[in-house]
Amino acid sequence: MSSKKKRAAAIDLSVEAERRRPEEGGDGGDREASDGAAAAAEEDGDVKQKQREGPKEETGGEEEKVVEVVADQGEDGSNEEIKYRTQQGDMMEEDKQPAAAANVDDDGGDSDGAGASAEEKHMVTEATGGEGDDGGDSRTAMAQDELSEMQEEMERMKEENRMLRRVVDKTVRDYYELQMKLAAYQQQPAAADEPKETEVFLSLGATTAAGGSGGGGFPEAKSKEQAAWRRRSVGSDDSDDGKEDLGLSLSLGTSSSYDDDQKAVEARPHDVDGAAAAAMIVGSRPAPRGYALLESSKVQGGAAPAAGELSAAGGITSQSVNPANRKTRVSVRVRCQGPTMNDGCQWRKYGQKVAKGNPCPRAYYRCTVAPGCPVRKQVQRCLEDMSILVTTYEGTHNHPLPVGATAMASTTSAAATFMLLSSTTSSSSVSDAAAAAAGVSTAPSSSYLSPYLLNSASPLLMPGATVGGGGGMQHLNLFGNSPSSSSLLAPQAPGSSKYPWSPNHPPLAGAGGNKRPFWSAGGDGDKPAPAALAENVGAVMSDPNKFSAAINNFMGKDGESSSGKSSTFAWTRSMDRTATPASVPAPARPRREPVSEEMARSARARRHVARQLRSAPYPIPSYRWKAMKESNRKKTLPAAQKMDWEDANCSVCMEYPHNAVLLLCSSHDKGCRPYMCGTSHRHSNCLDQFKKAYTKGALLEELPANTVGTNLDSTPLITGEKNESVDLACPLCRGKVKGWTIVEPARSYLNGKRRTCMQDGCSFVGTYKELRKHVKSEHPLAKPREVDPILEQKWRLLEIERERQDALSTITATMGRAIVFGDYVLDLEDEDDLDDVESDEDDNANGHETDNTRRMLMFLMRQVARHHQNQRLQNAIGTTGGAEDNYAVSSGANATTPYHYPLEGDDEDDLVMAGGGSTGMVRPERRRRRRRRNRERLFLGLH
DNA sequence: CGTGTTTGACCAGCGC
DNA sequence: GCGCTGGTCAAACACG
Ligand SMILES: [Zn+2]
């Protein structure tokens, strides 16, 4: 429905736009009107315009437009920018009133205004001509000429596209076959030796540590243990067997990925690829405790808990392991020195043991989110690098995942994917691994697009809903799991994690896609999960083949899967809410199993059950919450809030936020409560870093940003809607941050929580008060952390790649079988359809937008990406409702300057002082990926 | 008192 | 069959 339209809008840039304009009178209504205005100015310049157009179009001939686009993209950023703006302008106008908007974004502020892209002018001109008819015949004639020309072009393009499609198809097929073969090949050996355990380790960031690590280390050391586990699991879960026959191609990449890791660690300057990026993240994160290094290893093909936390930190290592097995195991490496790193799930420790080869005790946990949940996890410190926690998840949850977990899972996968992208290894393996980590089910089929769409998992993208590989899918229903370091290292957060709001309430309505930054700690279970998650999900579309399923699973709502292609989700359903042993994979050990059954009846069992029920981490099951949410929200709000901050975790440093400020994001009303440290540079300085990152991003990307100020800071000053400020994205929901506020009770409560000192090398842990003392005495010279320019640059590259991937995901989601070639997107509609369409088009000379769009096989991805953004924006606006726009923003004097680090004073330590209260509104427009990027940047900034 | 952790005991594969 | 190991149990504790 709207999707098509939207898509069309997004794509209209090139041929389409031009073509359509003349004919479509009505559709463009607003736009045309506004355009018209613009046109008016240039009106007399018709000729001029044409001339301008002329060169571009004529030169290129048929391919012109496309070519043009490409060229722009490739070489001249400005052009691209312009186009984008144009488009944006349209969007804006659509949303608002034509007149007003004009200045801020579009032409007004930006110098490029003059440059209204050729195309746009085109359009304008034509439109004008058509309507006003001032130009007279000559003009009309020209227009017609153009039109015909364009049509011709279109034809050619179609041809070309067809050819391309074929090629692509073939390539894909080949690829797929290869993959299968590979998988088969891999499986064979495995089968021969051992049951089906091929493990591949894709470790990105953590490599170093991971390397040869003994206990925690994956590769070598664990083989035996793993084997044991597998055995067990295999034996127990026969039920799953059938499903996982297909091997995942994951294994291949291993070694290579490993190398990548190394690279990452070394942080080679020029590596742009994912690995490098990963490295950056990892490497850069020297600091602070909080950033986790994640390594997720997906093991047995089956279902695995997603590695949630992983994402929390930046580094990611993912190990993927054999597909053939029935149970899925996911190992995650998280650098976590700090106290709690929750993965969003509730775990109960049931044992601890010192395993051979690693003096660090291994802790055993079982999922307590739902009474019968069979999921377990092991947490152990890596021998080589004690700061790394290796968490291995096993089993499939029999319940919907808590929001936090979900978010994390997706995040994780995204991160993993991301990292893996660049690796030379087969892309498919990468993505699969990522998916696995995320708890996504991976199927061989999923690899279909992989070669082209690697990143389906980009953090932002939530899978739409399509699922590709039916049969062989494996379900990793995990969710985020993070190693809760509890017993091992850190003080554990109170076991109670609460998810005040549930994740996917709003059925993926396609709202603004927000997601948790992969570094965000999704962990803290209680943290407000991204309220907007659901929204985001909708907004974000992802690689249908893989992620949607996963996500849906995470969400725990299969049924609501946005796209309705739920076939694959069936299993999920059955599992959900069913605590029955039957639905759940049998316990690992046959022997124990009976026992557990008995337990149910025994007094102890009763006790246990009671406990579990009572202790359910999530006071309200997400699915129930959904229902209750609406009705009770108001009443429970206070309580909920309390809960919010009780386990609040700063998304930047991943610890208890001191001098906490509550960011007011677009999902605030939905329960999103992103607390962040408002402390100075002597401490975590998170808020400042956060803003700084955004600001920087803005500066870099936002052209002559008149509005360089950061939102938070500048907002207060700029109250008008016209202000263009950098958008800050909520670290939890990715919704727009409109400001922040201070919740006194929360602050005082959180200040009493102990957290680590952020100074490098310092392991001091204490409450805010203690920390202040500590810092004063121990780190009197503390300075703001610096950002390594090289790393930053790398990061930027990474971001670009990411953006691209986002676009890809969007494309994939929107168009079923799109494939991306460089900047081109090929919509692999069924041949038949295509043909039909073509004929249709012929009939309709112009074709409808939709058709054209749909058939438009090639267009710039960027466009899509932008469209995507805009869409999100719109959604956000719509969803959020303008009503909430009035968030109070406290403006601490010191908070006003992004880069300003208050130098002293204990009291002044707080960047944010209570009391600030000016209000500001930030324009919703221009929600860009920047958000995420910036967020990511934080990493760089933090250490 | 409820809830979660700790920890020694127990059990089941595995290899010798 | 024995010992080793990893994984799990469950009583004892600790905590709020
Ligand atoms: Zn569970």
pLDDT at A361 (0 to 100): 86
What tens digit of pLDDT does each residue of A825-836 get?
444 433 333 333
Q: Name the pTM for this structure.
A: 0.32
Domains A329-417 and A644-697+726-783 share a fold: no
CA A346 to CA A617: how far, in whole Å?
6
Name the 3-class secondary structure at A868.
Answer: helix
CA A590 to CA A235: how far, in whole Å?
7
* Strand A293-301 with A328-335, pairing: antiparallel
Q: Which residues touch strand C (CB under 7 A)?
A: A 224-225, 228-229, 232, 350-353, 355-357, 362, 364, 366, 376, 378, 587-589, 592, 595-596, 599, 604
* Amino acid letter for position A365: Y
Ranges of chain A whose pLDDT falls below 70 = 1-142, 167-328, 337-342, 406-647, 669-671, 693-729, 732-735, 760, 782-943
Across all strands, nucleotide nearest A615 (CA–C1'): B3
Place of tokens 């700063």: A650
Question: Measured in angstroms, how far is the CA atom of residue A519 from the centroid of ligand 1?
Answer: 22
The structural domains of chain A, with segments of one domain joined by +, span 329-417, 644-697+726-783, 787-828
Backbone angles phi, psi at A198, to 5 degrees: -110, 130
Query: Which structure tokens are listed for A669?
Result: 């009303």
Residue A350 CA to C13 C1' — how many Å?
14
> Do residues A254 and A202 make contact, with C-beta atoms less than 8 angstroms apart?
yes
SS3 content of chain A, % helix, strand, coil (to 5): 50, 10, 40
Across all strands, nucleotide nearest A394 (CA–C1'): C7
Instruction: State the complex-level ipTM.
Output: 0.95
CATH class as words, domain A644-697+726-783 = alpha beta
Residue A654 CA to B10 C1' — how many Å?
39
Is the CB of residue A596 inside 7 Å of nucleic acid strand B?
no
High-pLDDT (> 90) share of chain A, %: 0
CA A367 to CA A397: how far, in whole Å?
8
Is the CB of residue A615 inside 7 Å of nucleic acid strand B?
yes
- Closest by alpha carbon to A372, among A582, A592, A621? A582
Across all strands, nucleotide nearest A351 (CA–C1'): C8
pLDDT at A138 (0 to 100): 59
What tens digit of pLDDT does each residue of A5-62 get?
333 333 333 333 333 333 333 333 333 333 333 333 333 333 333 333 333 333 333 3
pLDDT at A918 (0 to 100): 33
Please list the residues that pair with A512 across neighbouring strands: none
CA A733 to CA A783: how far, in whole Å?
30
pLDDT at A350 (0 to 100): 92
CA A427 to CA A503: how far, in whole Å?
30
CA A893 to CA A897: how far, in whole Å?
8
How would you write A680-742 as a 3-class SS string?
A: CCCCCCHHHHHHHHHHHHHHHHCCCCCCCCCHHHHHHHCCCCCCCCCCEECCCCCCEEEEEEC
> Do residues A511 and A532 make contact, with C-beta atoms less than 8 angstroms apart?
yes
CATH number for A329-417 (one of 2.20.25.80, 3.30.1330.10, 2.60.40.10, 1.10.10.60): it is 2.20.25.80
What tens digit of pLDDT does each residue of A782-802 get?
655 545 556 556 656 665 555
CA A473 to CA A302: how far, in whole Å?
8
Backbone angles phi, psi at A805, to 5 degrees: -65, -35
- Residue A366 Ramachandran class (φ > 0 left, ψ -120 to 50 alpha, else beta): beta
Residues found in chain A: 943
Q: Which residue is nearest to nucleotide B10 (CA to C1')?
A: A592
Is the CB of residue A235 inside 7 Å of nucleic acid strand B?
yes
Please enumerate in sequence order all residues whose Cβ is within 8 A of that of A303, keeping only pairs 6 or more positions apart, or say none: A240, A327, A328, A395, A396, A439, A441, A474, A475, A476, A477, A478, A585
Query: Which structure tokens are listed for A720?
Result: 């008008």
Question: Measured in angstroms, how far is the CA atom of residue A508 from the centroid of ligand 1?
Answer: 23
Burial level of A788, CB count in 10 A (0-12/13-18/19+)? middle
